[in-house]
Amino acid sequence: MRVAIIGAGLAGLTCAQHLGSEGLRPVLFDKGKGPSGRMATRTVKTALGDVRFDIGAQYFTAQTPRFANQVAQWAEDGVVASWPEAGPYAWVGSPSMSCPLGAMAATQDVNWNSFVGGISRKNDGWILHLDRAEEGPFDVVVIALPAEQATPLLALNESMFMLQSASSVSTPCWCGMFAFAEPLNSRRSIFRETGIVSWACRNTAKPGRYGLEAWVVQADSIWSQANLEVEQANIAEILLSNLLAMTATPRAAPLVSQAHRWRFSKSQGLGLGELWNSTIGLGVCGDWLLAPRVEGAWLSGFGLAQRILQEPVLNKRRSLRVTADHNFSA
Ligand SMILES: Cc1cc2nc3c(=O)[nH]c(=O)nc-3n(C[C@H](O)[C@H](O)[C@H](O)COP(=O)(O)OP(=O)(O)OC[C@H]3O[C@@H](n4cnc5c(N)ncnc54)[C@H](O)[C@@H]3O)c2cc1C
């Protein structure tokens, strides 16, 4: 079975990983330069060296046994670490948030810098329409994108799924990145719900990080929405002044002062799990189908892989393979 997965964030990579464990070799396509999605880590060069900022998910928890097993495996592989300062059950990618994705992507066939603008179904399977090329045919296509980015791909192909994605609205988030030559005037490394700031943290206080004093400041969704089209430099200035006020730092000249706009940050979380149409071989996964968190994305990708693997055609092939292996060893 030829499988294409559009989106190599956590949901897409999880789906690929579980399909791979049953012998399938999905091909992934992602518009990004490398593994990150909304678990992104941004590296900024300064005169005093590179500084890294986790600009998407800040930490995650594992509330289900399945995801807890995955996190335990990541911990054994050294790509996540617990971060008690954020809470007794908090985990982060280590030494940066995108590390678990990097480890997963390393075992998969991922095409980076590959924006998929459309999909169409021909007699011999699905065709993916990229900027300057077409890929396919594929028997199965998985769409592992935020709801708003999934909608245009679903529109001409699965109207019921498209209605679901169109009904899921994500909130935006402006995220500030600041680095300083000297530590700020605060022993605390985490601030929650302070004025327009929903979260601010000393990135270098997370496990496995070192180097220059680096802070991430995320504005709340209402303020972010109201200021969505404001210039990035102005947003950075406002978030910096909030950070300096919060940490009671009278004055500090930042080495890095930047802002990143997430148009689709926090999804609604429809509680459905995943979507699968076995007649046309089209699946959808992502945090928005379950819960707006790292764990929601993982469970959705895992759930979709399970649904695909339950397809009768695959089970028939699997039983033929077992018989063949048995005959061989006999
Ligand atoms: C600011 C912020 C803070 C957050 N904080 C937390 C937190 O503290 N704890 C927590 O658990 N969760 C948090 N989250 C949510 C968490 O990051 C997400 O739930 C999770 O990473 C979603 O994974 P995903 O695979 O569903 O989607 P994504 O990570 O968005 O992956 C989708 C992928 O699709 C690619 N893509 C998009 N369109 C196309 C296209 N047309 N063609 C090809 N590729 C495409 C993108 O490049 C991306 O790699 C936060 C998110 C943000 C943005």
pTM: 0.95
Residues with Cβ within 6 A of ligand 1?
Answer: 6-12, 29-32, 37-39, 56-60, 115-116, 144-146, 149, 173, 175, 218, 262, 265, 286-287, 292-294, 296-297
- The total of other beta-carbon atoms located within 10 Å of residue 181's CB is 13
Average pLDDT over the chain reads 94
Taking the C-alpha atoms of residue 255 and residue 242, their distance in angstroms, rounded to an integer, is 17
- The total of other beta-carbon atoms located within 10 Å of residue 269's CB is 16
Report which residue type is found at 2.
R
| Residues in CB range of 132: below 8 A, 6 or more apart | none
Measured in Å, residue 169 CA sits from the centre of ligand 1 at 14
Domain ranges of the chain: 3-39+98-169+268-320, 171-266
Which tokens hold the place of 230? 């404001």
Name the residue with the closest Cα to ligand 1, atom 20. 294
Residue 137 in contact with residue 126, Cβ under 8 Å? yes
Measured in Å, residue 39 CA sits from the centre of ligand 1 at 6
Measured in Å, residue 146 CA sits from the centre of ligand 1 at 7
Measured in Å, residue 243 CA sits from the centre of ligand 1 at 25
Look-up of token digits 């992104």: 40
Measured in Å, residue 94 CA sits from the centre of ligand 1 at 18
Q: Ligand 1: which atom is nearest the Cα of residue 287? A: 26
Mean pLDDT of 103-123: 97
Which of 59, 50, 36 minimizes the C-alpha distance to 256? 50
Look-up of token digits 């690929």: 16
Name the residue with the closest Cα to ligand 1, atom 41. 116
Measured in Å, residue 289 CA sits from the centre of ligand 1 at 13
Fold of 171-266: Polyamine Oxidase; Chain A, domain 2 (3.90.660)
pLDDT in tens, 9-54: 999 999 999 999 999 999 999 999 999 999 999 999 999 999 999 9
| CATH, range 3-39+98-169+268-320 | 3.50.50.60
pLDDT in tens, 218-271: 999 999 999 999 999 999 999 999 999 999 998 889 999 999 999 999 998 999
Look-up of token digits 């019921």: 160
Three-state DSSP state, 188: coil
Report which residue type is found at 48.
L
**Amino acid 268: pLDDT:** 87
Look-up of token digits 């590959």: 114
Tell me how far the alpha carbon of residue 133 is from its chain's centroid: 25
